[in-house]
Amino acid sequence: MLEIIKKIFKNTESKTIEPNIYERIDEMFDSLDADIITVFIGEDLVPFGVDIINTISEYREELKDLNGFILPPVHVLDKSDLQENQILALVRGKKVIEKYVIPTRKEVKKETIDMMKYIYNRHLDQIFTYQMTEKYVNFVQKNQPWTAWNITSMYSITDIRYVLKNLLEENRSIKDINYVFEKFADCALESGCYSYTSPTRIVKKLARELESCE
């Protein structure tokens, strides 16, 4: 009987010590997050790490002021298995560009800017997230709730992201996002009432409208 009681106690004790998966679910979801843009640098470029980070920050500010697009944060890390003067950029874990840079401040800055421009121009679809789209929508909702409601009642976040992303690809600025949403709503206003117009057609109309204002 004593042995049976010991076994029961041992089983009960082990169950209470085991971590409960439901208690760790938030932690597990947090671990799914990953960097959108990562830059790795070789040994010879490590002394220029601050210059690389500052150059990227300056480019992010310039892009925001020019186009109204907020480039995601970029993590710069050293990588021992790279060649000494190699710089490598990944977007969502996939290599998109690599360069071999003369290790001088001037060349490092030039190559870093060129790399970031390449990422923006060629990989906007991967870096323009749905979370960003929601932030644009939330901003308009605070300033022009009626305009935001008209658009979001007809168009999904996927549609809105498509429109904004393609405007950027057409070299149109979305910095004045309130105005962009106003014109977005106007493009959906046909025959005196709001109706669904395809996002592709919206982009064409908006691109013409925004071009005339530049």
pLDDT tens digits along 33-90? 678 999 999 999 999 999 999 999 999 999 999 999 999 999 999 998 999 999 999 9
CA dist., res. 69 & res. 90, Å (int): 19
Cα 71 to chain centroid distance, Å, stands at: 6
Q: Report if residue 168 sits inside a domain.
A: yes
Helix (H) or strand (E) holding 189: strand 189-190
Q: What is the DSSP string of 154-179?
A: T--HHHHHHHHHHHHHTT---SSHHH
Shared domain check, 171 and 117: no
SS3 6: helix
What local confidence, expressed as pLDDT, does residue 193 receive? 57
What local confidence, expressed as pLDDT, does residue 115 receive? 97
Is 197 in contact with 185 (CB distance < 8 Å)?
no
Strands 94-100 and 86-91: antiparallel
> Residue 195: is its pLDDT beyond 70?
no
Q: What is the DSSP string of 14-83?
A: HHHHSPPTTTTHHHHHHTT---SEEEEE-GGGGGGHHHHHHHHHHHHHHHHHHH---PPPEEEEE-TTS-
The residue type at 20: N
Residue ending a domain, among 104, 127, 150, is 127
Is 157 in contact with 130 (CB distance < 8 Å)?
yes
Q: Which of 8-22, 26-40, 142-156 has the lowest mean pLDDT?
A: 8-22
What local confidence, expressed as pLDDT, does residue 47 receive? 95
The structural domain count of the chain equals 2
Q: Report if residue 95 sits inside a domain.
A: yes
What local confidence, expressed as pLDDT, does residue 24 receive? 72
Shared domain check, 147 and 206: yes
Q: Report if residue 172 sits inside a domain.
A: yes
Residue ending a domain, among 77, 101, 127, is 127
Helix (H) or strand (E) holding 90: strand 86-91
Shared domain check, 208 and 185: yes
What local confidence, expressed as pLDDT, does residue 3 receive? 58
Going by pLDDT thresholds of 50, 70 and 90, the confidence category of residue 17 is: very low
The CATH number for 114's domain is: 3.40.30.60
Q: Report if residue 77 sits inside a domain.
A: yes
Shared domain check, 134 and 118: no
Shared domain check, 164 and 108: no
CA dist., res. 174 & res. 122, Å (int): 18
Q: Report if residue 89 sits inside a domain.
A: yes
Residue ending a domain, among 107, 127, 147, is 127
Joined together, the tokens standing for residue 52 give: 């690389």
Mean pLDDT, residues 134-154 taken together:
94
Going by pLDDT thresholds of 50, 70 and 90, the confidence category of residue 28 is: low
Cα distances (angstroms) measured from residue 168 to each of 20, 31, 92, 121: 46, 31, 20, 9
Q: Report if residue 9 sits inside a domain.
A: no
148: domain range?
130-212
Q: Report if residue 22 sits inside a domain.
A: no
Residue 69: CB atoms within 10 Å: 21
pTM of the model: 0.81
Shared domain check, 146 and 183: yes
> Residue 5: is its pLDDT beyond 90?
no
Q: What is the mean pLDDT of the chain?
A: 87
